[in-house]
Copies of this chain bind each other. A is one copy, B any other.
Amino acid sequence: MQSINEIEELVKLISKLPGLGPKSAKRIVLKLINNRDELIKPLANTLAQVYKNVVRCNLCGTLKSNSTACSNCEDTKNKFTKICVVEDIADQWSIENSNIFQGYFHILGGTISSVGQKKEDLLINSLVERVKKDNIDEVILATSATVEGQTTAFYIQDSLKKTYVKVTKLAQGLPVGGEIENLDDGTLFSAFKNRTGIKSNSD
């Protein structure tokens, strides 16, 4: 490798990003260097902007611009009555992309049993506050179908016991395109347990 410190440093930093190793980092650095004005400059500026301007909302956990109100929980234009609770911002993005849900989001910031994550680190208290304060009639728990996700969902359900809000969780069953022979026992169990009627005895 070139003995230029900045380049070495850049390769080292980029190798830390998910899905990238030293080889792909070098390829990226070369691309950057060959596109100084189209890539390095805007990337450095945008990163500085994000560092300066983008923060996590204390109330709902989503990303918001430092200078403006949170477009999720402090949205005054749209008055929603549902809150969808997810683990991470990535989950919010996926659900937003699917256009399947119209309402507020609440990003916990992890799950209860994940390593080093305590209940207190998750935005659960502020969820209870939001439910009490705003005119919410349903909390949809969209945590992962993992042990940690379901434990977290159970804990939240418990925390919301004293409010009068309806709490639901996402259905479990066959994923679209799922072939029976390839499904795990847990999914099959859920699919059987939650089977839906399509014709009654009397039809």
Contact = CB atoms under 8 A, between A and B. Distances in A.
A177 interface: no
B1 A13 contact: no
Contact of A28 (B3, B17, B30, B48): B17
A134 interface: no
A124 B144 CA distance: 59
A1 B93 CA distance: 5
Contacts of A14: 43
A71 B3 contact: yes
B50 A47 contact: no
Contacts of A197: none
Interface of A: 1-7, 9-10, 13-14, 16-20, 24, 26-28, 30-33, 36, 39-51, 53-54, 62-65, 71, 88-90, 92-93, 96-97
